[in-house]
């Protein structure tokens, strides 16, 4: 399954907030108004997964949690995202 399909199943859409080399940036807005950013970046034969909850409004961006920062082999990314995004 394509990465964009995996994250879309959990409400994430492509984001245009930034461009990161060799990466895809996704965003979702939860029912409580909190935004989550998810970045998946290819680095050699591994993928870096970053995720953080943010409160965005009135020209301010406030982090609401510690960011998740994980390095995984490429073949483990889909399973990892499916498990972790479904518990959010």
Report pLDDT for 51: 92
pTM, to two decimals: 0.84
Give the pLDDT of the chain (88 residues) as one tens digit per residue: 788 899 999 999 999 888 888 899 999 998 888 889 999 999 999 999 999 988 877 777 777 877 889 999 999 999 999 988 875 5
Report pLDDT for 66: 78
Q: Locate 32 and state its tokens.
A: 């409580």
Report pLDDT for 32: 85
Q: What is the dihedral of CA 86, 38, 53, 16, to 10 degrees?
A: -130
């Amino acid at each position: 399954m394509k990465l964009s399909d995996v994250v879309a199943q959990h409400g994430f859409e492509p984001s245009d907030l930034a461009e990161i080399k060799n990466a895809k940036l996704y965003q979702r807005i939860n029912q409580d108004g909190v935004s989550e950013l998810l970045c998946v970046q290819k680095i050699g034969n591994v993928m870096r997964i970053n995720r953080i909850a943010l409160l965005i409004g009135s020209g301010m961006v406030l982090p609401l949690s510690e960011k998740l920062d994980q390095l995984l082999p490429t073949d483990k990314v889909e399973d990892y995202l499916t498990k972790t995004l479904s518990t959010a």
